[in-house]
Structure 1
Amino acid sequence: MIMVCPATGYEALSFAIRKNSYKMAEKILKQPDALLIDDKWTDYILLIKALQRGCKQITRLLLKNGCRVNKPIKTNFFHTPLYYAVKLKDTQLVELLLSKGALINDKDFNKETPLSLALEKKCYKIVDVLLSKYLNQAIDLTSPSHDDYIAFNAACRRNNKHVVESFLKQEISNNMYLNYESKDEYNDTPLHIAVKYQNLEVIDVLLKYGANANAVNKKEQTPLHLAYYMKEKYPLEKYYKIIDIILSKLKNTNVNPIDNFRLSHFHIACTRNHLDTVKHFLLCKVDINSSTSFDSPTCSGYLPLHFAIENGQKKIIEFLLSQNANTLIKNKEGNTSLHFAFKFFYLDSNLIDLILSKDISKCTNPVNNYGLSHFHIACTTNNIVAIEKFLENEASVFTPVNFNSPICPGYTPLHFAVTFNRSTTAKILLQRNADSNMKEANGFTALHLACQQDAKKIHTILRNSINVSNTYGKINFERAYKESPIKVLDLIAKQTEQVDILDLLLQYKSNVNSQDNSGKTPLFYACDIDDQTFKNEFGNHKTQTLHSVLNQFYIKRNKIIDILLKYKANVNIYDFNSITVLHYIVDINKFFGDDKKTEVVKVLLNKGADVNARTKTGLTPLHIALKKGFIDLVEIFLKYNIDPNIVEYENLYTPLHLATMNDLLAPKSEEIISALLTKGADVDMKQIDGKTPLHIAASTRYTTNRLVTLLKVECDIDCQDKRGKTALHMACLNRNADNVQNLLNHGADINITDTFGKTAFFYFYEFQYDVLDSRVHVYNFHQIYYIFKNHIRRLRVIGFYVSWENMSYYMKLKDLHKQQVVNSDEDDFLMQLENEVQKMKSIKINSYSSLYDILFKDSNEMTLYIKNDKLKNILESSDFKSEFAQYSYLLKLQFEKGLRRSELLKPAKDSLEFILLISLPDACSERIFRYLSNRNLKDLIKSRTLTIKD
């Protein structure tokens, strides 16, 4: 046991602190009088040492043992304990010191308080803890110190309205400029600070206690200026609240502070719906046309009218116009009030007309820095008086907006009239020789724009159909439609300006096949409808209202397409991405599915659209429709003269590959596959990895009839992909018992190995480990095992070859299966097989062959036996399947093999004679054909067809 005398307690604890050893300090402090609380402030010095070295646990131990936290006599060598705790950024330690009575304004050494340090270190949790002490510590504010102002400032920053109000109740100055940081050059008042930090509650309190909203900082900014400039940093809702709170306090003020960029309170009042405040400013003789500086970073050269328009304040706009605000003065970018109205209120023709009416008598046509003129904007309206006045003053119908303009680049007056469906205006311009084939920045002629059912046109039609005056903001179309659906649909139908303009342009020789910068003609755009506007108006739900309204737009679209086709629109033009209009329509896949798309496709096909047109990646419209699962379009294409064997270039997919793999076609997959096969689709064509449609159909993990549909036609059932896998490999890999059974029943060879030397049976055999580990898919496992077991036994009984590898897997799985399932029927099955074999051997087909011998004939030999009446009668007998339950499928496969071969021999002989230009005896051709497979014979037949075509 260590004995610690008073003289050594300090040294022992100092040593423990140097070693940061909590256990040592704890052991020492258990000794009597280890911690001296004397007039030399030994305890205090130890506490400082512990804090300086960051020994937080020892610090807590010292405080627990009664260390003092405040020293009345200051020193030039140490900070206070509270200061060090703040420096360590330890909120809990700060709270502990405060609970022990640490003074928040106590300071030492460099005269910096803990609160100042917390602000500097941005330890805002600690700031809040320290501020909370101002509510329960007596602070004399009769002569407030710099430290008190720092605390007041911090409370304003931290939105601590209770502390702020506590200071204000003790009559601290509400409008003193606070320089709590040396880096702060702006000399802000508490209200500036509260605004800067978006502290609504503190702003309310400060204004309630008489904060001067007109006080300016060194940048000549009032709190209102500061709030305006921080718009991008605030959430909009909070920004508007701050502006509105301050403006409400200024509605009776007689001053209009202006900052260094000449932004005034009057300008800012015009951004909000404070009409009384705006009126009061004008009563105080504020200049209605005063502008901000061109050097302003956010609003260079803005007039009050600019501010009102940019912020959508219609009441303020109308009032300013009624007070003769100048509409022709430009801002730095050359924009007048009309330019702003067009930018922010382009759908509100009433507002644009109101501003235009102020300009008509002045015979001017202001143009902004991007070439957008008042005449251009007038052409978006039906204000014929204004348009005629501009034309009288020699406004040009040819002058476009600059091509670098952010708004309507390259637009001529005719482009504007067409975009906004102003048929009367368009007619006036065309009568003045406007060129209908001039192109804007995207290469659009007026005809391109006339064909587009874009957001502007759709939104305008919807608004007009419910008889609302154009206002800034969203309309409730759904509600209006429910109140009078027939009237609304009738109003939509009566808005024929778009169709009228289209007809008008074509009468004035607009090029119906003009291509834009992407190579698209007007017909491309006529076939599409922008769905984003419908989404905005109706939400993400396909309601009956939406269907009714969309139908009206589809009717309009059909009219537009009919007009274009009447004027000989080319339906087979490729755009610059090698896409025809047929590809374009099929590829449209927007949120609101276009169920009328099939009608457009039929019209185009009947007008000669090439159903086999290919993109630069080799895709036909049929490929795209199959990829996207558009069943209706697929069915239409199949009725036309499609080439079912066109291969796309990326993956070498044919339509049959896509029809087999796409589950979206599932309801009609088999029908589509059958139709493609009827059209001549090659069932054995390979995609880039060597897989045929049969591989794909065999790869599904769930049962479909796609595989069966393919197996009904002659296909290479044992075709191998680039990795050597057959369809049977794929079925085993995907554990699909039905596919395995179907493939084996159609003669799939179980002995074929892939590039890894594995048979299909191996991939099923490998599955045993999944079954043993997790017992998943146990049913599938046993089902496929029985299929293979029975198939192998059938083959072995009749003497067919089964590879050593397959027998090895079979025997191993047999042992595993015995552990899982007890089955006593194996001997019965074997006996049934042997009985059927004996029965087949006993039935003579002719003098040389029995029914059993048929199993071993090749396809050339079977062409002779398909004419054998006895064999045909056996196969067609009603009890054939029951008599030969195990081998009937093999006998039928042999017969079908002969039939397929026989069907090819005659056309193959004709083709060979055609190519050789000689007649061949049957015996000669048969001799030759023995060396050719069915695939070779098909190619021979195809070669004659191709030669005739050439």
Structure 2
Amino acid sequence: MLLEINDDNDERTLMVDVRDDQGDTPLHLALRNKNKKATELLLKYGVDPNSANLKGLTALHIVSQENERYDLAKVLFEICKQKNVTLRVDARDEFGDTPLHLALRSNNKRLVELLLRQGADVNLANEEGSTPLHIVPKTPDSYNLAKMLFEVCDDIGRLINVDAQDKLGNTALHYELKYACLGPRDLMELLLRRGADPNLANEDGSTLLHVLCDGLVQGRSLMKELFRICDDVGRWIDVNARDERGYTPLNLDVFWGWESDSFSLLIGRGADPSLANAHGWTPLHHICKRDETSFFDDETVQVFLEICDENDRTLPIDARNKDGDTPLLVALASGHLVEPLLRRGPDLSLANEEGSTPLHVICKREIEADVLAAKLFGICDEIELTVPIDARDKLGRTPLQWAVANLLPKTVDVLLDRGADLADFVFPTADYLAEDFLPEEPYDSRLNLKLKAASGVLVVVERLAERGYQLTQSDALIIATVFAEHGLFDESADLQVPWYDDEEIATRVETIEIRPDLSLRDLVQLRPEEAENVVEYSDYYEFARSHDFSAFPERYREVCGAHLCDTMCRGFLRRWAVYPFWELIQYRLPVEICETIVEQLTNRDLMNICLAAKGQSS
């Protein structure tokens, strides 16, 4: 209305390019509010259509932001043409976006065509390096939008750079594959048929195949489509391209745990299963690694091996990564034997950078080490493969030493049954004996590992003794040192309290069986001398690892563990403290008298006597 009034009074001059605090002119506001009449009048009175606000937005940017402003865009172009004013169709906002970028984002096909026919540069990139074609795959109707874009450019003689790369090195085809799971996949075919290079890599070194194999849910079916289309248009795909981490598409595929169909497709197309990434991991390493994210099992390994055989692909089953680990070592470290791989005859003498052979790796595991060891020996017997049982790692330790250090009595039995050398056996030192059983915080009652550690140490010592090993005073000192490190007898002063009679725990103590003829209540009421005659170290060992013990209320679990440690260790400490005590008193009393004195001392005193004999008392 103001403009109409001014039209009747030519002596007044209106400031049509005045700006508000956002830098918007009246034209910006009229277009934003879709006021066609005000737009026409402002243009008639000479408003600058190329004026940009503080965000760099011109009139064309404003009309390109929404799908419903096409008519306003037409008005802009028509009136500017009448007034012989050139509209800057490639003006950039603060992000470097042109009106064409914005029109594509708003899926405004008619406006896209209008801008192109008015001279918009279809290859102009924004601050991120994105051309209009990069925008298309991220829109809901990407195929039809791209189809129209190409058709209009064909009609006006404009060439679209289909391989333009943004600042991340991604092409429109890279984004199409990333967003393909959100809608139809026709755009991939359109881009490839328009000449897009399937082997172009982004700044991470990822080609299209890398994108498809890098955890993309629909990557397998898209991969088949990619090969089909490239075959049809005569395009070769580099299936062995490496990204910046050295991963080939096959390596990525198995890293993410996809199915054998994709292995077969890639290997059938020439993927080399021997190629390793920058850390030396081959596809077979990844397949043999098992964790909570892995979908692989022995059947997958078998299928992978067969696929390689069918395609005459050489598979280095003893390939070593940068840590020196072979696929078999990787499998064993995650607790799996991978029988199909073992039956291929890998070299069991190969050691990693730590000097660990397969048997070393097994003996460093706490869970099912005996099962793995027995299975390893059994299969190797069948295929006549020798297991190096007394190999030493770079610390000079044998598998038997590791089995003892990790408190694995059943594994110790397996090794000794298989001929492990006990004659030259050296008992583990205190720095690694029961090392994995130390709590994260001192006296951590949540993780009461003391009973586990003490029973484990004593039961492996018992197994060694049964096979003829003579425990020495030096060995006993090592054990006393480990007991001290675990704070084994720090709660001894509280053991006079009849905790097992508390109402909360009494029934449970009564019903838990340590062995068929002995309940936990029976055991805790025995004197140590009595318990030594009826309970074996292995009974304590099994109870410490049982659900019955772990299910104890926390405050009772701590005191129960301390009570059982006191009972269990009494005989061992009493026997091995006599001579250190005799040494401490400088042999002034007969050994028999020393034995009598030792009988009267607490376990903590006995442990400290063993340590004091070597100047270690704390």
For the 8 Å contact 1:587–1:624, the answer to whether it is kept is yes
2:324 matches 1:618 = yes
1:365 matched to 2:85? The reply is: no
Residue number in structure 2 paired with 1:560: 265
- State the 1:779 CA deviation: 0.7
Aligned partners of 1:662 and 1:726: how far apart in 2?
Answer: 14
Aligned equivalent of 1:760? 479
Please give the alpha-carbon distance, in whole angstroms, between the structure 2 residues aligned to 1:579 and 1:811: 63
Which residue pairs with 2:125 in the alignment? Answer: 333
Aligned residue for 1:785?
570
Partners of 2:434 and 2:428 lie apart in 1 by 15
1:770 partnered with 2:475 = no
Query: What residue is the counterpart of 2:360 in the other structure?
Result: 657
Question: For the Cα contact (< 8 Å) 1:582–1:621, is it kept in 2?
Answer: yes
* Equivalent pair of 1:670/1:709 in contact (CA under 8 Å): yes
Aligned residue type for 1:749: Q
Match of 1:354 among 127, 139, 148: 148
* CA shift in 2, pair 1:617/1:423, >3 Å: same
Question: Offset of 1:751 from its aligned partner?
Answer: 1.1
Q: How does 1:104-253 map to 2 (within 5 A)?
A: 216-217=19-20, 220-221=23-24, 250-252=33-35
Q: What CA distance in whole angstroms lies between the structure 2 residues aligned with 1:302 and 1:435? A: 26
CA shift in 2, pair 1:758/1:782, >3 Å: same
The match for 2:251 among 516, 519, 524 is 524
Match of 2:465 in 1: 744
Greater C-alpha Rg: 1
Q: Does 1:686 align with 2:392?
A: yes
Change (3 A) 1:664 1:301: same
Q: 1:401 to 1:711 in 2, by over 3 A?
A: same
Contact 2:101 2:132 in 1 (8 A): no
Q: 1:323 to 1:818 in 2, by over 3 A?
A: closer
Work out whether 1:407 is the aligned partner of 2:203.
no
Query: How far did 1:425 drift?
Result: 7.6
1:712 is the counterpart of 2:422: no
Tell me how far apart the structure 1 counterparts of residues 66 and 428 of structure 2 sit (CA, whole Å): 71
Please show how residues 5-154 of structure 1 align to structure 2 within 5 Å: none
Q: 2:282 aligns with which of 580, 589, 594?
A: 580
Give the CA RMSD over aligned residues: 5.5
For residue 621 of structure 1, report the CA deviation from its aligned partner. 0.8
Deviation readout 1:249-291 (Å, 9 max, x if unpaired): 9344755685266524663464356x3xx25744764779955
Match of 2:111 among 309, 317, 320: 320
Q: Distance in 1 between matches of 2:419 and 2:165?
A: 65
Residues 778 and 686 from structure 1, CA distance in 2 versus in 1: closer, same or farther, beyond 3 angstroms?
farther
Asked whether the 8 Å contact 1:695–1:730 carries over to 2, the reply is no
Give the TM-score taking structure 2 as reference length: 0.58
Q: Which residue of 2 aligns with 1:195?
A: none
Decide whether aligned partners of structure 1 residues 421 and 306 sit closer, same or farther in structure 2, where only a CA change above 3 A counts: closer
After TM superposition, give the deviation of residue 782 of structure 1 in Å.
Answer: 1.5
Question: Cα–Cα, structure 1 residues 272 and 749, in superposed 2: closer, same or farther, change >3 Å?
Answer: farther
Residue in 2 that maps onto 1:309: 104
Please show how residues 879-894 of structure 1 align to structure 2 within 5 Å.
none
- Whether the 8 Å contact between 2:489 and 2:604 is mirrored in structure 1 is no
Which one-letter code corresponds to 2:306 in the other structure?
V
Aligned to 1:99: none
Is the 1:215–1:222 Cα contact (8 Å) retained in structure 2?
Answer: yes
Identify the residue that residue 466 of structure 1 maps to in structure 2: none
Q: Quick one: structure 1 residues 499 and 364, their matched pair in 2 at CA, closer, same or farther if it must change by over 3 Å?
A: closer
Contact 1:450 1:502 survives alignment (8 Å):
no
In the alignment, residue 120 of structure 2 is paired with which amino acid?
Answer: I
Structure 1 equivalent of residue 551 of structure 2: none
Query: Aligned pair in 2 of structure 1 residues 405, 768: CA closer, same or farther (>3 Å)?
Result: closer
Gaps of 5+ in 1: 1-213, 226-245, 367-372, 377-399, 412-416, 462-491, 532-552, 821-950
1:609 counterpart residue number: 315
Specify whether residues 354 and 332 from structure 1 end up closer, same or farther in structure 2 by C-alpha distance, changes over 3 A only: closer
In structure 1, how many angstroms separate the alpha carbons of the residues matched to 2:173 and 2:113? 34
CA shift at 1:648, angstroms?
Answer: 0.9
Structure 2 CA distance, aligned partners of 1:510 and 1:248? 49
- Using the size of structure 1 for normalisation, the TM-score is 0.40
C-alpha deviations, 1:114-168, integer Å up to 9, x for none?
A: xxxxxxxxxxxxxxxxxxxxxxxxxxxxxxxxxxxxxxxxxxxxxxxxxxxxxxx
1:772 counterpart letter in structure 2: S
* Structure 2 CA distance for partners of 1:709 and 1:456, relative to 1, 3 Å: closer
Over 3 Å counting, the alpha-carbon distance change for 1:356 and 1:759 in structure 2 is closer
1:219/1:259 contact within 8 Å kept: yes
DSSP 3-state at the match of 2:53:
coil
Do the aligned partners of residues 318 and 221 (structure 1) sit closer, same or farther apart at CA in structure 2, a change above 3 Å counting? Answer: same
Relative to structure 1, the CA distance from residue 365 to residue 249 in structure 2 (aligned partners, 3 Å threshold; closer, same or farther) is closer
Quote the Cα distance in structure 2 between the aligned partners of 1:709 and 1:450: 47
2:95 to 275, 278, 299: 299
Distance 1:686 1:421 in 2: 59
Q: Deviations over 1:494-545 (max 9, x none)?
A: x94245357779x98777666666555554355455x8xxxxxxxxxxxxxx
Distance 2:120 2:225 in 1: 34
**Counterpart amino acid of 2:358?**
P
Kindly tell me the number of residue pairs found equivalent between the two proteins: 465
Per-residue Cα deviation, 1:420-441 (whole angstroms, up to 9, x for no partner): 8957986896xxxx999x7646
After TM superposition, give the deviation of residue 770 of structure 1 in Å: 2.1
Pair 1:734 & 2:453 matched: yes
Match of 1:669 in 2: 372
- Seen in structure 2, the aligned counterparts of structure 1 residues 646 and 802 have a Cα distance that, compared at 3 Å, is farther
Instruction: Specify the SS of the correspondent of 2:474.
Output: coil
Q: Which residue of 2 aligns with 1:593?
A: 295
Tell me which residue corresponds to 2:344: 640
More contact order relative to length (CA 8 Å, sep ≥ 6): 2
Distance 1:442 1:705 in 2: 52
Query: Cα distance, 1:402 vs. partner?
Result: 6.4
In 2, Cα distance between equivalents of 1:523 and 1:502: 18
Q: Which runs of 5+ in 2 are unaligned?
A: 1-16, 40-50, 81-85, 175-179, 438-449, 495-558, 585-590, 606-618
CA contact (8 A) 1:720 1:726 kept: no
The structural deviation recorded for 1:680 is: 3.1
Question: Structure 1 residue 695: deviation in Å?
Answer: 3.4
Q: 2:212 aligns with which of 428, 435, 453?
A: 453
User: Helix, strand or coil: the match of 1:705?
Assistant: helix
Residue 557 of structure 1 deviates from its aligned partner by: 0.6
Identity %: 17
Residue 65 (structure 2) pairs with residue 271 (structure 1): yes
Distance between the aligned counterparts of 1:734 and 1:616, measured in 2? 34
In structure 1, distance between residues paired with 2:569 and 2:152: 87
